[in-house]
Amino acid sequence: MCGIVGYVGTQQAVPLLIRGLRRLEYRGYDSAGIALQSESDGLRVAKAAGKIVNLENEIADWDFSCHLGIAHTRWATHGEPTQLNAHPHTDTNHEIAIVHNGIIENYRALKEFLTRQGFDIRTDTDTEILVHLIRFSYQGDLTKAVRLALTQVEGTYGVAVVSSLHPGQIVAARMGSPLVIGHGNGENFVASDVSAMLDHTNRVVYLENGEIATVSANDYHVTNIENEQIIPQVEEVSWTLEQIEKGGYDHFMLKEIYEQPHTLQQATRIRLNKDEGIPRLNGLNLQQEELRRIKRVYITACGTSWHAGLVGEYMIEELARIPVEVEYASELRYRSPIFDPESVFFAISQSGETADTLAALREARYHGITCLGIVNVVGSSIARETDGGVYIHAGPEIGVASTKAFTSQVIVLGLIATLLGRMRDLSVQQGQEIIEAMEKIPDQVEHILSQADAVKAIAQEYYKSNNFLYLGRGINFPVALEGALKLKEISYIHAEGYPAAEMKHGPIALIDENMPVVVIALRDAVYDKVMSNIQEVRARRGRIIAIANEGDTEIADKVNHVIYIPETYRLLTPLLSIVPLQLLAYYIAVMRGCHVDQPRNLAKSVTVE
């Protein structure tokens, strides 16, 4: 989820690359770097941790009369967002520089190979491996060396490579991570998305997977991985810059909702080991014996991450039979919690910087128990202060209301629960069944998203309501809480989530024809009970929107609206049931004219108490 921009032409490259990086900053912003190529000085590289302004300070006294360069803004996946790990990475001779988006999955094997060949690996990144591999393959033709190196790579990449041995040339290649060539007048661009070049040209060539381009100021050649020539199709972009940053979606929140099939895949890729039914979570840094000894699990978090933690409680208790306690970080930090020495503590946080979660983590550390993180932002404070953990790899989440981070946290908790279960009584078949169900989840989410118009129609009917009630039972009770939170955060409608049966002990007094009630009514052990709760709402003229399983035609007669979702392994249902609720909240907020991505009074990352 990083950003790449490259330029070759007659203008000064530096200001142009910096402006391009700024356009891409929404994609990742933990560190940045630039490599310039000039006839006189060869390659010049600068990098800085933090925002792009830090990079600007770094190069403030540089001579800008240079007309070719590549630049990168990073969203860390391998290695902390330090200056050393920032891109571009260079070979040992400082003659080749690379910027890279994506993940090299076989980087460990490649690293061992290169180390055996005598290469000195200096950073924690997978990208540095690539530049050494290019050097290893280099015999006078840069494009050929890039092609040869990439044939050794498993994973995803969008790369731009420059070399002092090939002045006036950028080599760009794509597999999985988008890469675009911008076609200008006596100048050409390379970027991970068109927003970085749209100030200069709207004529672009989108590289396809496996394609490699050799780009100079007046020309570009595209070939495929077999070295067959490709005739590039030049397209004209008609979108505005703002539309493009949002990928054509009206809001970041909607974009992030639609990214979930991809982010769920990212969270599980290379972690699903179907043969043994045991997820691979090496980042936990725990041996099998240590995993078996765990007697209790504590989970702490805030907001949406806390809801994910509640789902995790159901998963871990059922699959691993280990008692779990989930607590708001803000409460935990001021109690005197009693920590079992043979327990593990999970801090869940999208940002990895939430002040209360960090303070609760420090309290747990003080008690000497193993502390782990489930975090999105690589190298964030929580990631650094834990003994190990699992990154969710959801990419930057810009919308204040968390969506894709929630589903990724939940699927990662599912992996952890399955791992802990397999270290105890969960059979290999059960492990495999869960992993197979996880593999299907991205397509199932995609299928739910294809029904967005139906959700929008429901939103149209209820967007003027002043109150909403969300009901769910079992593992879908936290989903009711999260659905209600989504609605109140962005639409400012009062919404409450409740365990369905608990409704009788208070909220039922509120129900009349003006109270829409969202009920998660999936075919599971408590289905009949939830149907009774639906009858109770109906008897008081409440309007019911049900989330039900496909094929459940009976429910349609008992409620006002049904949104159908596919069946999955019971403990994974929150991954599907939350999606229509995210969409419902989104459409209602838009119809009420609310500022969806930056709701009033809220902050994306709450770094104060």
Contact between residue 310 and residue 261 where contact means Cβ atoms under 8 Å apart: no
Closest CA to 405 of 588, 607, 575: 575
Phi, psi values for residue 433, rounded to 5°: -60, -40
| Closest approach of ligand G6P to the CB of residue 359, in Å | 12
Indicate the residue among 398 and 510 with the shorter CB distance to ligand G6P: 398
Q: Which is nearer to ligand G6P, 238 or 601 (CB)?
A: 601
Edge-to-edge strand ranges of the sheet holding 157-163: 89-90, 96-101, 157-163, 170-175, 211-215, 220-224, 229-230
Which of 109, 428, 457, 602 binds ligand G6P (CB under 6 A)? It is: 602
Residues 140-199 binding ligand G6P (CB under 6 A) are: none
| Token digits of residue 27 | 């994609």
Touching ligand G6P, residues 257-316 (CB under 6 A): 302-305
Binder of ligand G6P out of 263, 357, 432, 476 (CB under 6 A): 357
Measured from the CB of residue 402, what is the shortest distance to ligand G6P in angstroms? 4
The rounded distance, in Å, linking the Cα atoms of 76 and 281 is 18
On whether the CB atoms of residues 322 and 296 are closer than 8 A, the answer is yes
Residues 567 and 523 sit within 8 Å (Cβ to Cβ): yes
CA–CA dist 326, 300 (Å, integer): 6
Determine the interface stretch with ligand G6P among 37-45, 282-290, 314-322, 600-608 (rule: CB under 6 A).
Answer: 600-608
Could you list the active site residues? 2, 604
Question: Taking CB under 6 A as the criterion, which residues in 401-460 touch ligand G6P?
Answer: 401-402
For residue 270, the SS3 value is coil
Residue nearer to ligand G6P on the CB measure, 211 or 597: 597
Give the residue closest to ligand G6P by C-beta. 303
Residue closer to ligand G6P, measured from CB, 303 or 542:
303
Nearer to ligand G6P, 349 or 408 (CB): 349
Q: What is the DSSP string of 17-43?
A: HHHHHHHHGGG--SEEEEEEEETTTEE
Q: Binders of ligand G6P: how many residues, by CB under 6 A? A: 16
Q: What DSSP assignment string belongs to 542-559?
A: -EEEEEEETT--GGGGTS
Residue 72's nearest CA partner among 129, 135, 20 is: 20
Report the residue from 31, 192, 354, 418 that binds ligand G6P according to the rule CB under 6 A.
Answer: 354
Alpha-carbon gap, residue 126 to 322, rounded angstroms: 36
Of 38, 202, 598, 605, the one binding ligand G6P (CB under 6 A) is 605
User: Shortest gap between Cβ of 304 and ligand G6P (angstroms)?
Assistant: 3
Q: Which is nearer to ligand G6P, 454 or 606 (CB)?
A: 606
Using rule CB under 6 A, residue 577 touches ligand G6P: no
Residue with smaller CB distance to ligand G6P, 390 or 503 = 390
User: Given candidates 45, 364, 400, 410, which one binds ligand G6P under the rule CB under 6 A?
Assistant: 400
Question: What minimum distance in Å lies between the beta carbon of 122 and ligand G6P?
Answer: 31
Q: Is 451 helix (H, G, I), strand (E, B) or coil?
A: coil
Contact between 372 and 345 under an 8 Å Cβ cutoff? The reply is yes
Task: Supply the minimum distance, in Å, between the C-beta of residue 596 and ligand G6P.
Answer: 13
Q: Which residues bind ligand G6P (CB under 6 A)?
A: 302-305, 349-351, 354, 357, 400-402, 602, 604-606
